[in-house]
Amino acid sequence: MRNFPRRHLTLIAALSIIFVVLLLTDPSTNTDSQLENGRQIELALPIETHISSGEQDLPSAEQATMPSLPPKLVIVVKPGDNLSTLFARHQLPAGDLQRVLQTENADMLATVKPGQSIEIQKNLEGRVLELVYQANPKTKLISKLLASGYVTEIEHVEPDMVINAFEGNITRENSSLYHAGLAAGLTDNLIMQLADLFQWDISFALDLREGDVFTVIVARSSIAGEPIGEDRILAAAFTNFGKRHIALRYVDTNQRPGYYNEIGESLRKAFLRDPVHFSHVSSSFNLRRKHPIHKRTMPHRGIDYAANRGTPVRAAGEGKIIKAERNDASGNFVVIQHGDRYTTKYLHLSRFAKAIKPGVRVSQSQTIGYVGATGWATGPHLHYEFLVDGVHRNPRTVRLPDSKPVPAQELEAFRETTQPLLAALENANERTLMLVQNF
Ligand SMILES: [Zn+2]
């Protein structure tokens, strides 16, 4: 009988390697010592992936004399597929599938998703000899036909983790967070995370200034050198217009992760400052404005965010929909009640999001509709109103209530766990990144 290669992935701690990478993306303009486009420090973890393939290296005598097996089938799961339809399509024995599914550890096979693939090795009689399913980058399922029947094993691979520090600044050439982030070496995903972190404190579309600087401490995960899409910001500092904002990741005793400032206040507010990703503010809050269509003084009790038609409009805070209807002036509009004191209104929507109707509860950031130009509107925009105790307030300047801080009884633990992050933000170097790593 043929021996099947068994791969053992072993993680072996090795000597630490420290890289300090100076990323100067435009060397021609960097003859002086100034950091024009960003700096990246990388700390490689003291972990090395070692793959020992055992029998695979030494083919047995049997194996060498056996006729070769049919080529391996790689089956890609399409929408609507399940294992039965896949087996039928490839003329694989339904009985083998039943036997595989009855093995211990086979539950995961119920979760195959479109786009994933399953590898199948048949034997010369057409039976399933081995089935391999990569459930996610960290988890692989392997069912094998042994003399005793099928056996299923789950292989877990611990990703390698690397702590990186990125430093960047807003310049004339890189005037947006996106471009400054790219220049500093951040991925699109990390730039989004950074923007989300500070969305309550900084409007990245309106408030950025030349000279703003940021530092981001990131845990990056990879397997065999391939990123697995789990890069996570551990800490960030953003100095905007001279004011330094800090975000520290902390997982509380209920295992809920959150981002807090250095004294344990949540960065998250009960309300988003801007409920839509917009290109610019086309009309500000102004109680003595001349109306663009009616040419007479009409207060503008909200703010107009110009954005592309179809851009998702998000609930500014958790609450209950009290209106989702249409009239001549407002077009399609939504009103949300947040507790006793706060109400928000969203006008001129092209349409409502699915299931948005009066009585429905929504969470913060949930999409409630899409930007449009219904009602009295000269172009696609969101008209947004924020009312406190029934009085219209300027959504861009009103003081927003905070979310819950770190509980008092956890402050000690919070200070202890975030101390290395603060040190790394203060001065990102091999030593401080190593402290973050070893925490
Ligand atoms: Zn308006």
Expressed in angstroms and rounded, the spacing between residue 332 Cα and the centre of ligand 1 is: 13
Q: 5: which DSSP letter?
A: P
For residues 386 and 237, membership in a common domain is answered with no
Each residue's pLDDT tens digit, 221-245: 999 888 888 899 999 999 999 999 9
**Residue 74 Cα, ligand 1 centroid: separation in angstroms?**
55
Q: Are 152 and 173 contained in the same domain?
A: no
For residues 288 and 336, state if they share a domain. Answer: yes
Average pLDDT for 420-428: 94
CA 276 to ligand 1 centroid distance, Å? 14
Distance separating alpha carbons of residues 234 and 238, to the nearest angstrom: 14
Q: How confident is the model at residue 19 (pLDDT cuts 50, 70, 90)?
A: very low
Q: Based on the domain organization, do 335 and 376 belong to the same domain?
A: yes
Whether 400 maps to a domain, the answer reads no
Could you tell me if 193 and 262 lie in one domain?
A: yes
Question: Residues of the chain with pLDDT > 90: what percent?
Answer: 62
419 and 356 housed in the same domain: no
Q: For residues 165 and 216, is the Cβ–Cβ distance under 8 A?
A: yes
Contact 315, 340 (CB under 8 A): no
Summarised one tens digit per residue, pLDDT across range 334-368 is 999 998 899 999 999 999 999 999 999 999 999 99
The residue among 109, 137, 157 that closes a domain is 157
Distance, CA 311 to ligand 1 centroid (Å)? 17
The answer to whether position 56 is within a domain reads no
Q: Which pLDDT band, with edges at 50, 70 and 90, does 269 fall under?
A: confident
Kindly tell me the burial class for residue 390, based on how many C-beta atoms sit within 10 Å of its own C-beta (0-12, 13-18, 19 or more).
Answer: exposed
The pTM score is 0.62
How much distance in Å is there from the Cα of 19 to the middle of ligand 1? 52
- What's the CA-to-centroid distance between 384 and ligand 1, angstroms? 7
- Residue 292, C-beta contacts closer than 8 angstroms, at least 6 positions apart: 283, 378
**Domain final residue, candidates 157, 177, 199:** 157
Reported as a single tens digit per residue, the pLDDT across 278-333 is 778 888 888 777 766 677 777 889 999 999 999 999 999 999 999 999 999 999 99
Same domain for 412 and 328, yes or no, is no
* Overall domain count for the chain: 3
pLDDT the model gives residue 396: 86
Confidence at residue 9, expressed as pLDDT on a 0 to 100 scale: 29
Q: What separation in Å is there between the alpha carbon of 219 and the centre of ligand 1?
A: 42
Which pLDDT tens digit goes with each residue over 81-96? 889 999 999 999 999 9
CA of 409 to the centre of ligand 1 (A): 45
Å from CA of 300 to ligand 1 middle: 6
> How far does residue 192's CA lie from ligand 1's centre (Å)?
28
Cα 304 to ligand 1 centroid, rounded to whole Å: 5
Contact 114, 62 (CB under 8 A): no
Q: Report the CATH number that the domain containing residue 144 is assigned in CATH.
A: 3.10.450.350
Residue 418 has a pLDDT of 95
Please report whether residue 260 resides in a domain. Answer: yes
In-domain check, residue 62: no
Q: Which residue has the higher pLDDT, 267 or 321?
A: 321
Measured in Å, residue 399 CA sits from the centre of ligand 1 at: 21
Helix (H) or strand (E) holding 94: helix 94-101
Distance 194 CA to ligand 1 centre (A): 29
Residue 302 CA to ligand 1 center (angstroms) comes to: 6
User: Quick check: is 382 in a domain?
Assistant: yes
Range of the domain at 83: 67-157
pLDDT of res. 399: 86
**The pLDDT value given to residue 85:** 92
The Cα 117–Cα 106 span in angstroms is: 16
Ligand 1 centre distance from Cα of residue 335 (Å): 15
Weakest mean pLDDT among 13-17, 233-237, 345-349, 413-417: 13-17
285 CA distance to ligand 1 centroid (A)? Answer: 8
**Judgement on whether residues 165 and 253 belong to the same structural domain of the protein:** yes
Residue 2 in domain:
no
Judge contact between 16 and 50, C-beta under 8 A.
no
Domain boundary among 157, 184, 201: 157
Q: Determine the Cα–Cα distance for residues 21 and 428; give it in Å rounded to an integer.
A: 12
Q: Give a yes or no: residue 14 inside a domain.
A: no
* pLDDT number for residue 292: 66
**Nearest by Cα to 274 from 208, 206, 209:** 206
Ligand 1 centroid, distance to 201 Cα (angstroms): 23
301 C-alpha vs ligand 1 centroid, how far in Å?
7
Query: Could you tell me the distance, in angstroms and rounded to a whole number, from the CA of residue 320 to the centre of ligand 1?
Result: 23
Report the C-alpha gap between 387 and 385 in whole angstroms.
7
- State whether 250 and 170 are in the same domain: yes
Q: Is 37 domain-assigned?
A: no
Residue 367 and residue 329 share a domain: yes
Residues 6+ apart with CB under 8 A from 320: 336, 337, 359, 360, 361, 362
Q: How far is the CA of 354 from the centre of ligand 1 (A)?
A: 24
Interval between CA 206 and ligand 1 midpoint (Å)? 18
- Are residues 169 and 151 part of one domain? no
Give the CB-side neighbour count of residue 205, counting CA atoms within 13 A. Answer: 16
164 lies in the same domain as 146: no
